[in-house]
Chain A
C-alpha cells in the first residue's frame, strides 16, 4: 500500500493553477524525488501534503488515513524540512530542538537525548548554545534537517535540503538520507540538483506547470529519453540561428541553454559538424537526468 497517496490534488491561487490534478503514490521506504523548474508547484504540492495548505480539489491519504480528517495524528509522524528557514531566532540551537520536541509531546529527558543525537548526526554538537543568527547558512540548513528528524518520522518531506551546503556537508546530508532508507523512512525529496536526485532517489517525478509529466527511476528516465547520448555544441551567437534551423529541418531533438545547444542523437560527430560552419566546441557525452529534465520541461533550472 502506498504510504502517501494523492488523487486529483489541485491548488489554485485566483486564476493560477499552481498544482494541477496530481496523482501520486509513494511507497513505504522509498526515496521519491520531485524535480521541476522554479514555480513548477513543488513547494505548493508539499505544503498540501503536510496540511499547511488546504487543497482546492482532490485528496491526500498518508498511512492510509485521510489527511483532512486526521491532520494531527499524521503530522505527528511526518518530518518537515522546509525550503525557507523557519528556525526560531529567539531561542538557542538546543532550545530550538527542545521546543520542537515539546510540540511533539516528547518527554523532557528523551527530548534532550534525541536533540543531542540529531545535532551529532549533522555535526552541530559544538554549536548547541549558539544563537541562530550566529550560525552560517549551511549550519542553519543542517539544523533544519536535524529538527526534521526529531520526531523520528515515518515520512520525511525535504524541500531542497542541500541548498547552500558546501560539498562536504552535502555528502554528509546525502549519506544521512541514504541511511534513513535502512530504517524504513519514506523520503519525499524536492530538489533542483540532478546529481542529488540521481544518487538518492528510487523514483523521480518531473513536474512542470503544476503537472507531473513523468514518473520513473532516474535510470529508466535517462534510458528512455537519453539513450542515444548527448552532443553539446557551443556556437557563436551569429551561427546559432543557422544551426537551429538545420536541426529542425533534419528532425533532431535538442535543447538550448544559453549559447549551448544539446542534441540528443547517436549520429556521428562528423554529421553534426556539417550542420554548422564553425562550432566553437563539440563534445559527446552520456545523457544525465539534467538533460532529460531540460528535454521534458524545456526549461533551464537557472531561469
Chain B
C-alpha cells in the first residue's frame, strides 16, 4: 500500500489560499451557530436543569459543543467540500498530473479538514472563556485534541467521499451518522440518562470519547477511563486514514 509524502502540504496550502480568499461570506455562519446554540441552550434550557454536582448547565455543555462543532467542520469539509473539488471542479485530476499522488491529495484534504476543526474549536473556546465557562489551564490542550478529532472525522468523511455515487448521498451520512451523534454522545445529557440500548450505541459512537476528553480538559478532572478514550480516538483515526488512501486511489485512477 502506498502512503502519502510531505508533498500533501501543497494541497493544504491550496485549500488555505482558497479559505483566505473566500472565508468572509462563509466563516461567520460556521462560528455563529455553535455560539448561538451554546448561549441559547445554556442560558435558556439551563434555567430549568439542575446537575447533580451543582455545575451550571452551560458549563456542562460547553465542551460537548466544542467537540461537536469540531466534528461538523471536518465532516463538512471532507464530504461536500472535497466532493465538489473532486467531481465538479476536477481539482484532484489537475493535481495528480503534477508530482503529487492521490495519497498526497487525500492527506492534504484530511489535514485541511482537521485545520477547520481546529479553527472552529479555537473560536468556541475563546467565546466560552469570555463567558468564564473554562476553569482549568488544561483547556489549551483542547486545541490539539480538536485537530486530532478533525483528522479522525476527516478520515471517516474522506472514506465515505471515495465511495459515494453522488453528492446527495451525503444526506445519509449526516442524518444517520453525524447528526445523531450530536444528540446522543453525551453533549447535552450524561449518557446514563438514556435507556440501556441507546447507551450502548452511544458508547460506540466516535464522538463520545471526544466529548468526555474535552470535558475533562475543561474541568481539569481526570480519571483512568480517559486513557482508553484517547487511544480509541488514535486507533480510529489511524484505521480510517489508512482506509481512505486506497479507497480514493480506486476512485480516481480509472
- Residues of chain A at the chain B interface (Cβ within 8 Å): 13, 50-54, 71-73, 75-76, 78, 80, 82, 84-92, 95, 99-100, 102-105, 151
Contacting pair B99 A88 (CB below 8 A): no
Other-chain residue from A84, A99, A105 in contact with B99 (beta carbon distance below 8 A)? A105
Q: Nearest chain-A residue to B13 (Cβ)? A: A102
User: What is the number of residues of chain B that contact chain A, defined by CB distance less than 8 Å?
Assistant: 22
Other-chain residue from B14, B22, B89, B93 in contact with A99 (beta carbon distance below 8 A)? B14
Contacting pair A103 B22 (CB below 8 A): no
Contacting pair B89 A88 (CB below 8 A): yes
With contacts A86-B89, A86-B90 taken as known, whether A103 is within 8 angstroms of B98 at the C-beta atoms is yes
Contacting pair B97 A80 (CB below 8 A): yes
**Residue numbers in B under 8 Å from A99 (CB-CB):** 10, 13-14, 17
Other-chain residue from B10, B99, B253 in contact with A52 (beta carbon distance below 8 A)? B253
Contacting pair A89 B253 (CB below 8 A): no
Other-chain residue from A53, A84, A100, A151 in contact with B253 (beta carbon distance below 8 A)? A53
In the complex, B130 has a CB within 8 A of chain A: no
Write the B93-110 contact mask toward A (1 if CB under 8 angstroms, else 0): 111111111000000000
- Residues of chain B at the chain A interface (Cβ within 8 Å): 7, 10, 13-14, 17-18, 21-22, 89-91, 93-101, 253-254
Contacting pair A90 B99 (CB below 8 A): no
Contacting pair B98 A82 (CB below 8 A): no
Contacting pair A90 B96 (CB below 8 A): no
Q: Nearest chain-B residue to A74 (Cβ)? A: B99
Apart from the given pairs A88-B14, A90-B18, A92-B21, 15 other A-B contacts in the complex at a CB distance below 8 Å? A13-B254, A52-B93, A54-B253, A71-B101, A73-B99, A76-B99, A80-B97, A85-B90, A86-B90, A88-B89, A90-B21, A90-B91, A99-B17, A103-B10, A103-B99
Contacting pair A103 B95 (CB below 8 A): yes
**Residue numbers in B under 8 Å from A82 (CB-CB):** 93-94, 97
What are 23 of the A-B contact pairs (CB < 8 Å)? Answer: A13-B254, A51-B96, A54-B253, A72-B99, A75-B97, A75-B98, A78-B97, A80-B97, A82-B93, A82-B94, A86-B89, A86-B93, A88-B89, A88-B94, A95-B17, A99-B10, A99-B17, A100-B94, A100-B98, A103-B95, A103-B98, A105-B99, A151-B98
**Residue numbers in B under 8 Å from A91 (CB-CB):** 14, 17-18, 21
**Residue numbers in A under 8 Å from B95 (CB-CB):** 103
Q: Nearest chain-B residue to A89 (Cβ)? A: B89
Say how far B100's CB is from chain A's closest CB, in angstroms: 6
Interface of B is mostly: helix
**Residue numbers in B under 8 Å from A102 (CB-CB):** 10, 13-14
Question: CA separation between A145 and B150, bound complex, in Å?
Answer: 37
Question: CA separation between A95 and B21, bound complex, in Å?
Answer: 10
Contacting pair A88 B91 (CB below 8 A): yes
Question: CA separation between A251 and B33, bound complex, in Å?
Answer: 79
Say how far A269's CB is from chain B's closest CB, in angstroms: 52
Q: Which of A51, A102, A151 has the most CB of B within 10 A?
A: A102
Question: CA separation between A126 and B97, bound complex, in Å?
Answer: 27
Q: Nearest chain-A residue to B14 (Cβ)? A: A99
Contacting pair A52 B13 (CB below 8 A): no
Contacting pair A86 B10 (CB below 8 A): no
Question: CA separation between A34 and B182, bound complex, in Å?
Answer: 55
Question: CA separation between A92 and B20, bound complex, in Å?
Answer: 12
Contacting pair A52 B90 (CB below 8 A): no
Say how far A85's CB is from chain B's closest CB, in angstroms: 8
**Residue numbers in A under 8 Å from B254 (CB-CB):** 13, 53
**Residue numbers in B under 8 Å from A89 (CB-CB):** 89
Say how far B80's CB is from chain A's closest CB, in angstroms: 14
**Residue numbers in A under 8 Å from B21 (CB-CB):** 90-92, 95
**Residue numbers in B under 8 Å from A71 (CB-CB):** 101
**Residue numbers in A under 8 Å from B10 (CB-CB):** 99, 102-103
Say how far B21's CB is from chain A's closest CB, in angstroms: 7
Say how far A143's CB is from chain B's closest CB, in angstroms: 12
**Residue numbers in B under 8 Å from A90 (CB-CB):** 18, 21-22, 89, 91
**Residue numbers in B under 8 Å from A87 (CB-CB):** 94
**Residue numbers in A under 8 Å from B96 (CB-CB):** 51-52
Say how far A296's CB is from chain B's closest CB, in angstroms: 29
